[in-house]
Structure 1
Amino acid sequence: MLRPYLREEIDMKRFALAVAAVCLSAGAALAADPLEGYWRTAKDDNGNSGMIHVAPCGAQLCGTLVKAYDANGKEMKSPNIGRKIISETVPKGGGAYTGKVYSPDRGKTYKSKLQMSGKSLKVSGCVLGICRDGGAWVKVK
């Protein structure tokens, strides 16, 4: 028969292990994906670019246009502010992602391939067999 204080010590150890396991699993779940943050897009066909904020949207990642810039790099008004530019995006490993990307200059949504390398993001996409190179985006923060 276990002495009462020994039984309490075993119960406390089990409790401490359970709390540690919960904290570790929560920490892993709360770790930000490297794609999260603010990205400056490459210039489009019109010479315009944008600032995209990438954040989780459910189990996927989405990127919303938060600022638009004209060909001279000056901030400008755009009807696309607040629009999801990246959607349904999931990591594939090795800095690769797939999902969808909307191109404001062409008004089309492409099936996207994103490849991240450090603070650079190579963006490309295809729709109905027509593919487009979206250039390299640069991570701002």
Structure 2
Amino acid sequence: MGRGLKRAVCLGAVICTLAVAVGADPLVGLWASPPDGKGQTGIVQIKPCGDAYCGTLIKAFDPNGKQIVTKNVGKRLLWGMKPMGGGLYGEGRVFVPIFGRDYPAEVTLSGTRMTVKGCAALVCKAQKWRRAQ
């Protein structure tokens, strides 16, 4: 392969990679949840899931920051989150492990923070998650 062709192939690969990175939705990635009632935290991986976004708990930590194994690691905690514009994702569901149920939910992004809000009847609760490194 000639030198010019090698450069063209490399440049094409770089441009394709940048196009994918620029087109990536800001919701996609790793998010750290705040402590639950037991002081445990988790890392949720959010990625495309059909025409929406889903989030799966991939790691859990005890109050001292030590990684632990729980029955919820590997569970889908968020699903059906559709972009609504302006950093809002709606029409989704959130699974609340302490209740063993899922509820209607929405997510709002603001920089490296994400508010996850779930509602049961007229009662809504929200948590602030942060982007994980």
| TM bucket normalised to smaller | 0.7 to 0.9
Check if 1:122 corresponds to 2:115. yes
User: Scaled by the length of structure 1, what TM-score is found?
Assistant: 0.74
Give percent identity, aligned residues only: 36
Task: Return the match for 2:56 from 55, 64, 71.
Answer: 64
Structure 1: which 5+ runs fail to align? 1-26
SS at 1:82's partner residue?
coil
SS state at 2:63 partner: coil
- The letter for the 2-side match of 1:36 is V
Deviation by residue 1:94-125 (Cα, 9 ceiling, x = unmatched): 11111111111222212112111111001111
Q: Shift in Å at residue 35 of structure 1?
A: 0.2
**Retained in 2: the 8 A contact 1:121–1:138?**
yes
Structure 2: which amino acid aligns with 1:129? L
Alignment of 1:1-141 (within 5 A): 31-98=23-90, 99-133=92-126, 135-141=127-133
Which aligned segments of 4 or more residues in structure 1 are displaced greater than 4 angstroms? Answer: none
In 2: Cα distance, 1:69 partner to 1:105 partner: 16
Q: Indicate conservation of the 8 Å contact 2:53/2:79, yes or no.
A: yes
**Aligned counterparts of 1:130 and 1:72: Cα–Cα separation in 2:** 31
**Contact 1:65–1:81, Cα closer than 8 Å, also in 2:** yes
What TM-score comes out, normalization by structure 2 length? 0.78
Alpha carbon RMSD of aligned pairs, Å? Answer: 2.0
Instruction: Give 3-state SS (helix, strand or coil) of 1:105's partner.
Output: coil
DSSP 3-state at the match of 2:64:
coil
User: Unaligned regions of 5+ residues in structure 2, if any?
Assistant: 1-18
| Alpha-carbon displacement from aligned partner over 1:2-61 (angstroms, at most 9, x marks no partner) | xxxxxxxxxxxxxxxxxxxxxxxxx58x92110000000111122211100000111110
Residue identity opposite 1:55 in structure 2:
K
SS at match of 1:53: strand
Equivalenced residues, count: 115
Q: Is the 8 A contact 1:109 1:127 kept in 2?
A: no
Contact 1:46 1:105 in 2 (8 A): no
- Bigger-Rg structure (1/2): 1
